[in-house]
Amino acid sequence: MAKIENKDIIEAIKEKTILEVKELVDMMKEEFGVDPSAVAVAAAPVAAEGAGEDDAAKTVVLKEAGAQKLQVIKVIREITGLGLKEAKDVADNGGNIKENVSADEANEIKAKLEEAGATVELK
């Protein structure tokens, strides 16, 4: 059997919906007896230690959808490519819209969401 490169796995995961990724995580838990999210949480502080103050990578975080939630959902779908239900869940609950983007892109995304009526924060 040919070895699959990690970059190929990542590319395949990018094409999946959030629900499909959740199913994949559940299958990994069952198959290997390990929760992959616990590994990601443990690895995050290590990655953060190497990050300097000058890093331009930003995370766009939706704090609140506001009164024009339908418009915000449309913008979330446009930015992320999520399905309607997934975008609605993000609009209802808040959370990261896009991670590790340039400061310019983060500001553009923030402007689009704020124009639609959302409250957004850059981290």
pLDDT at residue 21 tops 60: yes
Q: Which domain range does residue 1 map to?
A: 1-53
> 54-105: per-residue pLDDT in tens?
457 899 999 999 889 999 999 999 988 888 898 898 899 988 998 888 888 8
pLDDT at residue 113 tops 50: yes
> Both 25 and 65 in a single domain?
no
> Both 37 and 78 in a single domain?
no
DSSP-derived secondary structure letter, 99 = E
Q: Is 95 in a helix, a strand, or coil?
A: strand
pLDDT at residue 123 tops 50: yes
**Domains identified in the chain, total number:** 2
Distances (CA, A) of 72 to 57, 98, 103, 120: 23, 14, 21, 11
Q: Comparing 16 with 50, which gets the higher pLDDT?
A: 16
DSSP-derived secondary structure letter, 45 = H
Task: Report pLDDT for 16.
Answer: 85
